[in-house]
Amino acid sequence: MHNISLGSTLNPEGPNRSWLSPSGDFAFGFQPLETNSSLYLLAIWFDQIDEKFTVWYANCTTAVSPGSSLQFTLNGTLCLRDSTGSEIWGSQIAGGAYASMNDNGNFVVYGADGSPTWQSFTTPTDTILPSQELVSGTILHARLMDTDCSNGWFILSLETNGNLTFYTVAVPTGFQYDSYWSTNTSGNGGKLVYDTNGTIYYALENMQHPTIDILPAEMDSTDQYYHWAKLDPDVFDNSGHCWKKKLPLSNGNEGSEVQRTVYLKVPKDNHSQTLLNIEVSTKWKTNRKDWILGGSIIIGSSVFLNFLFISAHFLGARFRATREKNHLRAWTRMMTRDFTYRELEEATNGFNEEVGRGTSGIVYKGYLHGEFDTSIAVKKIIHRIPQETEKEFTMEVQTIGHTLHKNLVQLLGFCYEGSESLVYPFMPNGCLTKFLFSGKRPSWDLRVDIAHGVARGLLYLHEECGKRIIHCDIKPENILLDDNFIAKISDFGIAKLLKAEQTKTSTGIRGTRGYFAPEWFKNVRISSKVDVYSFGIVLLEYAAGGM
């Protein structure tokens, strides 16, 4: 074991950047960010692999710059200070006499008697290692992305009541949704154990054998899981309380306690089908009264059938719209919140403060208390052509509701009541147009960072998300800046979704004059290059606007 003495110091640059374990497998120290090599995390990582995978970090939201330091102070604590000397993070427990980076990935501060006073294994972030145990009250929080260690969507929590639970949270508000898996265990002192054999299990206090196996030591072939995924559901499976309600009935009987009633319309007999034959005589000798009667029947029947057809059309359209709304609510319930009109009215103080207006909607500033506790921007959709408005609203919810990237605006929720509304985090620095032409002179470094952010957002839309997305309306007004001047692409109302294997598509011309790519006017299939062209126009304005 390599002991680290009191007063030892690490710096982001230079030879004293990290402390290694005896085997060299793990390192504790300053690790540069993948997205910005001039910023550093205090972390523990695998040092003998090319990826340098991080297993623990201290300061994910406050990365430090060169000139920062980590000191093992004389009172036995770890203290991380930034380049100004301000303390960013500390172990807070005094009394340490020496420390070591162990070969199991645990960094430990020991007291004079050799007992641990602080260790990284008791303050995990998103990873557990062999020989590590999670005790009651511990939380593992997934990263937002591989390159961004801020808190993401998923949490593993060992609750104080002894229940091991997985659940999702909203980003960035942190609102906690219902758990989607748990052990349903209870009791004080439970622990999650990852032993050196590679087995993860849950055990109660003072028990060395598993109460519940979480992961077997040897995994079976994954072929069976792929096979299961391709199978049709069992005919008697009524998950979600849904089953077939038309002939032929195919759901089986699991037991006598299953009681279901289905109402079906069937014909009484062969005579129930009546044929109506109307014979129109071609002879001009037909009585005039017969003509009037026959014409009245035909005209009346025609009017009645037209009325039925029109009624069915409108009822069907209304049913489809309701079904699409319900489907959209269910589709996005894990990612966004379905607000009521009253909630948004209260949050915006009666839609009092207007902060923006465009062709598709009016934006109001508001504040959500309680679970969100954040400033918001509520975009009320302007109804021009109802079908197009509904289509744009649905497209924006489905597109941005299931995307997650640092450089895309995050959809917090939506509202169907009254005028459809979309809810976003409030961007205090407004859009790129306001930033460039406000009379201020932004530095070149800041301008380059913003441009890189937009480019990263487009790369994610075009190449990295589940379904490729062509934004179709890249312009300065649709690029927002948060309080740290991080660029966020917004307004996905006219975006075009592509299938995974699809690179081009046919669609009508869409976008804003002045930012159209030439392809729009050539009657050819368009690709993500139309966004790249529009971004090029933005860059020209961007460079000129800051001169």
SS3 414: strand
SS3 95: coil
What is the sign of the dihedral through the CA atoms of 328, 329, 331 and 334?
positive
Measured in whole angstroms, the distance separating CA 541 from the mean position of its chain's CA atoms is 32
Q: Tell me which residue of 165, 116, 124, 162 sits closest to 143, measured CA to CA.
A: 124
Q: What angle do CA 279, 281, 287 make, to 5 degrees?
A: 115
Both tokens of 10, joined, read: 């690490």
Q: How far apart are CA 145 and CA 54, in angstroms?
A: 13
Q: What angle do CA 37, 35, 126 make, to 5 degrees?
A: 105
CB 10 within 8 A of CB 30: yes
Cβ count near 155 (within 10 Å) = 20
CB 4 within 8 A of CB 86: no
DSSP state of 316: H
126 tagged catalytic: no
Catalytic one of 223, 338, 445, 473: 473
Q: How far apart are CA 17 and CA 303, in angstroms?
A: 86
Q: How far apart are CA 470 and CA 527, in angstroms?
A: 7
Q: How far apart are CA 324 and CA 329, in angstroms?
A: 8
Q: Cα dihedral angle (340, 343, 345, 347), rounded to 10 degrees?
A: -140
339 Cβ neighbours under 8 A, 6+ residues apart: 413, 414, 415, 421, 423
Indicate the helix (H) or strand (E) that contains 384: none
Peptide bond into 267 cis (omega under 30): no
CB 348 within 8 A of CB 423: no
Cβ count near 14 (within 10 Å) = 9
Both tokens of 392, joined, read: 């744009």
Measured in whole angstroms, the distance separating CA 85 from the mean position of its chain's CA atoms is 36
Q: How far apart are CA 91 and CA 75, in angstroms?
A: 11
Cβ count near 354 (within 10 Å) = 12
Q: How far apart are CA 473 and CA 495, in angstroms?
A: 8
CB 120 within 8 A of CB 44: yes
SS3 156: strand
Q: How far apart are CA 121 and CA 142, in angstroms?
A: 16
For β-strands 69-72 and 54-57, DSSP reports them as unpaired
Binding site listing for ATP: 380
Residues with a catalytic annotation lie at 473
